[in-house]
Each structure stands twice: as C-alpha cells, then as structure tokens.
A and B are shown apart, each in its own frame.
Chain A
Amino acid sequence: MELTGLIQTIFGGIGVGSIYALLGLAFALVFGRLKICSYMHGDLAILAAYMGFFLFNTLGVDPFLSLIVLLPIFFFLGYYIQTIFMKPFMSMEVWQGRYQAQIMVTWGIGMCIMAAEFMIWSGTYRIISVPYRNTTLAFANITIPIVHILSVASLVVIYTVLNYVLKKTDLGISFRACSVDRVTAMLTGINYQRICAIAFGISSSIAVVAGTFYALTNQITPAIGLELTFKGWVAVIIGGMGSLGGVILAGLLVGLVESLTSYFWIPALKEAVLFVGLLILLITRPGGLFKSR
C-alpha cells in the first residue's frame, strides 16, 4: 500500500512538473539563445487559462479546441509586445543593465495583465469543469489523470517540433545564427528584430499550452501568474540557463520535489523546500544541474 502511494505521488509530480517544464521551455527558448529575459509568461499563461475558462463557460468550447484560436492570438500578442516594448533594449549589452530593463518592462506588462484579470474575473478561484477533468486511467492500483498524460505528451511533441524547427528549417537556422553572433547574422541579411519577435511569439504560444493544462488541473486566480513565472525560472536555472533538454528535466524535477514534499511532509512547505533546494544548488553548482555543453 505504502509503495503504491509513493509511485502514485511520483506520477502526479511528473504530471505537475510537465506544466513547469513547458513554462521553462518558453523562457529558455528566448533567454538561452537570444538573451531576452521575460517575467510575464506566467501571467500570459493565466490569461490564456481565463480565456479558455470564458470560452468554455459561455460557448461551451472545449479548452483543447479553444487552443486553435488562442495559439495564433498569443503568438501575435507576443510578437507585438516584443516589437513595441522590448525593441529599445535589444541593442543594450548585458552590463548596461539589459536584463534589468527587460525584467522591469515585462513585469510591468505582467502586472497590467493581472490587474485586467482582477477587473474582469475578480479574485475568486475559478475552475474549468470539463467532463474528463477527473477521468483517470488505471494500471494495477495506480491511477493517472488523463490530463497529466496529455500534458506530458504535449511536452514531448512541443520539444520535438522545436528541435526540428531549430535544426532543419530556414527560420531555425537564422534563429541560431542570431544567437551565436548578432552582428554577422545581420550582415548576411537576417532581420534580427523580426527573428526575436517571432521567437517571443512562439514562446508566448508555449505559455498558452502551459496555462491551459494548469487550468485543467488546478484552480486559477490572477495572483498565481507571478508564482508560475518564478517556478518556470527555477526550472531554467536548475536546467543550466537555457539548454532546452535540461529545462525539461529540471521542470519535471521541480514538480517531483513539490509532490514528494506534500506526500511526506506539510503541503504548505512545498515551495519552501523547493527554494531551499535552489539555494543549496546555488552554493554547490552555480551553473545549474544540467549544464549545457
């Protein structure tokens, strides 16, 4: 019986962790390659979750169907946020305070998004009550929610597609060129700002997927956005600052730590344990657990 509970907890942790891994992937894509630092993707995810909630409650659209509408919308949202708000900081160097400026602007936008959610949907906890929310698959004594399986599957799909795009397509090649050497890339005729904007748009769309899965497994409230942002960043830091594979493992690890803490100890301390772990990691391996190269 004891063992079953443990395995159950581990599977739950992986399911929760896949959401953090998705968010971490969104951050790592723009941070690891293009040195764009964003602090609003958690809020974007929650905004997408609320839109899914709205569509489900008024029109009865399934959250997965509404993704078809939401993904392009958030792609263009990210695209224009990058072109309008982030462009002035793209030519700054790191020591000139590039990250600080980017953090503050994106955080300001995130705060506006959160305030808008507060105004429209108020602070009460909301829930998307789809019929398959509590559906589980059972193997022997272990039951796994179907949503968790779907989120892990979508994580794998997104990772594979991203890798394919980065390695094989023209867009991916110019993207990598920009990340290696900005000036030379611009000399060969690549539009640097456009590549950055597209990358930001893609990462916003990934945040939408994360937000939808979060809404299907948890209750949503506007204030959760900043928390999600920080958990995504924890995944990025543990994963070694922007390697895509490392971030996914780190995100799953974050989820595991949380669920194991709730299982063995007090659930209220799960975030504390996570961040204590992070501090210990910073002492022993400042470069992250799965360092790239």
Chain B
Amino acid sequence: MNLKKWILSGIFAFILYLVFLSITDAGFTANFIAYICLFVIAGQGWNLLGGYIGEISFGHAVFFGIGAYTVGLPVGYGLDINLLLLVFCGAIVAGLFALIISYPLLRVQGFPFLVGTYGLGIVVKSIVVVSPALFATRGIFLKSYDKEILYPLIVAITIAVIIFVKWLVEQDIGLKFKAVRDVPVAARMIGINIYKTKATALVISAVLTGLAGGLFALYGSFVNPSACFGENTSIFILLGPYIGGIGTVLGSLFGSTIVIILQELARSLIKVNGGHYMLMGLLLITVMMVSKEGIYPGLVKLMGKVKKAGAKRE
C-alpha cells in the first residue's frame, strides 16, 4: 500500500521533470539537477551500508570510480560498445569487486572498517595513477552523450533506485540489516548469518554506487583518477546521508541534495579558499549536536512533539 504511494509520487515527479524540461531547454538547471541525482543515487547506495548496517565507509569512491572506468576504458581503447550497456556492466563489475573485497573488510567493525575502506580508496587510486594501461593521470575523454536523452534517463534511474531501496528495506533482508545493526548478538541467536547479511548490503551498495559512477562518466564525458577515485568523491557521497539522516530513505535524499547545493553555492558565492569545507564542517557539527540522527529524523521528532503539545492543549 505504502509502496504504491511511493511509485505514484515517483511517476508524478518524473512527469513534473519532463514538463520542466520541455519548458526550459536543457540548460544550467537541468544540468545541475542531473549532477545532484548522481550523488543521490550514490548516497542511497552508501546509506544501505552506512545507515542500515551501521558500517561507515570512507571509500565509496572506489565503486564510483570502477563504474566510471568500466564505461571509460573500452572507449579509451577504441572499442565501439553501447555506452548504456557499459553503465550497467560497470554496476555489476563494482558489485563483483565489492564481493571480493568484502572478505577482508567485513572481518572488522566500526572504525577499523572505516580506516580499511579509506585505505582501499588510496590503494585503488594510486594503482590507477601509476599504471599507463589505465591511462594514468591523463584520463579518458568520451564523446558527449545526447543531453536530451541522458538527463531524463538519470532522473528516471534515480527515482527507480529510491523506490528500489525503499522496497528493499521493507523486505526480510532489510529487517535483517536493521537487526544486525541494532543487536548483533540477538540477530545471530535467531539464525541470521551476520557476515552474509553485511556482504549482501555491501554488494548492493556497491552496485548502486557503480551505477552512479557510470552515469557520471556519461554526464561529464570525461573520467580521470582525481574526479572518480578522489577522496572528495567519497566525502560527498558520505556526507549527504549522514547530514540528512542515516537509515532513512527520504533523509539521505534530502541530505545529498542539500550537501551538493550548498557545496556549489559555497564555491560560486564565497570566493575564499576552503570556504566550502568550512560550511560542510559547521553543518556537520551543528547537525550532530542538535539531532544525532540527522536532519530528517530530527524534523520528524519535532513534528511529533508539536502535534503532541497541540493535542494536550485541546
């Protein structure tokens, strides 16, 4: 029942977007919306691992970059393959990579996991930077994809991903995720395989992030190590769900949107070195101090309190 509402509002949002596109031709705003959507997809992927399993990853740029490079490399070697097909291949490759890497990574929890994922990011980035076969620091130029097809496609995929994540966390597997996060001991007692559950979350998370990466390659028609594998990519993927509210689908959607908009505003308006870092840091501290769970759950709590107070008065 609930899911039907989500699908309907998703379709409505897509129609709204198409109307918007037909009124204003694909200009700056459409471009910017597509850019936000990429990070919303990656943020939803991160949220599956960081929010629902509770393992913070500092290295999601790895999966993002693998998605992007799976699109970029065949083009760089002059192969003529359908780019959209490559985007989905990239998602699958990122998922496979996550499956392999989950073996060492998921043996630890908490911040050793965090340091391990950060290290993974550094390892993959330095391998790409030093190997000429992967075009080193030069990067690869793609021929630009038709914007009028690409932008609606990105928005449609974003909506589909959001609905998929919402559907997933209401299934058995989603409940398992939460059980593993909240009380691991009890989860093991009722027969949940903790390692398998975590690995599932990591792989799905990597697939979504890889999808975002592949779309990023089409969107920017350029892939290079610092844009795809860089630490900043990891940080922006991570910050969105964390500020918006980890463990909630809507929260991380809002969070990613807010973070990207603020970051771009800070870059274009505050013309001071490091201004956007200051803004992000202050935002992070404020959110953590005011409501530990993030903006969206905090707002929901506040609304509940207001309603209760209103009911009491009556």
Contact = CB atoms under 8 A, between A and B. Distances in A.
Interface of A: 37, 85, 88-89, 94-95, 97, 99-101, 103-105, 107-112, 114-119, 122-123, 222, 226, 230, 233-234, 237, 266, 268-269, 271-272, 274-276, 278-280, 282-283, 286
Contacts of A266: 130
Contacts of A89: 292
B111 A279 contact: no
Interface residues of B, number: 43
A226 B230 CA distance: 13
B122 A100 contact: no
Interface stretch (B2-10, B83-91, B155-163, B272-280): B272-280
Given A104-B288, A283-B107, A286-B107, A114 B115 contact: no
Contacts of B273: 118-119, 122-123
Nearest to B273: A118
B115 A116 contact: no
A77 B200 CA distance: 43
Q: For the complex, would chain A's binding face be called helix, strand, loop or mixed by DSSP majority? A: helix
B285 A279 contact: no
Nearest to A237: B112
A111 B116 contact: no
B289 A104 contact: no
Given A85-B285, A105-B289, A278-B116, A114 B277 contact: yes
A283 B103 CA distance: 8
B119 interface: yes
B292 A119 contact: no
Nearest to B123: A272
11 contacts: A95-B184, A101-B292, A104-B288, A105-B289, A111-B280, A116-B278, A118-B272, A233-B111, A269-B126, A275-B123, A286-B107
Contacts of A97: 54, 292
Contacts of A276: 119, 123
A114 to B, nearest CB: 6
B105 A279 contact: yes
Contact of B288 (A108, A123, A222): A108
Given A97-B54, A122-B273, A269-B130, A109 B285 contact: yes
Contacts of B104: 279-280, 282-283
Contacts of B105: 279, 282
Given A105-B289, A234-B119, A99 B275 contact: no
Contact of A108 (B184, B231, B285): B285
Given A275-B123, A282-B112, A103 B274 contact: no
Q: For the complex, would chain B's binding face be called helix, strand, loop or mixed by DSSP majority? A: helix
Contacts of A105: 284-285, 288-289
Interface of B: 54, 56, 103-105, 107-108, 110-112, 114-116, 118-120, 122-123, 126-127, 129-130, 182-184, 231, 242, 272-278, 280-285, 288-289, 292
The 5 A-B residue pairs with the shortest CB-CB distance, nearest first, are: A118-B274, A275-B119, A111-B281, A108-B284, A115-B278
A119 to B, nearest CB: 5
B114 A103 contact: yes
Given A112-B282, A278-B115, A99 B110 contact: yes
Contact of A101 (B120, B282, B288): B288
Given A274-B119, A279-B116, A282-B108, A268 B126 contact: yes
Nearest to B59: A275
Given A88-B289, A114-B277, A222-B274, A100 B126 contact: no
A267 to B, nearest CB: 10
Contacts of B231: 226
B297 to A, nearest CB: 12
A233 B115 contact: yes
B281 A110 contact: yes
Given A112-B281, A115-B274, A283-B103, 14 more contacts: A37-B111, A95-B182, A104-B288, A108-B281, A108-B285, A110-B281, A115-B275, A222-B274, A268-B126, A275-B118, A275-B123, A276-B123, A278-B116, A279-B104
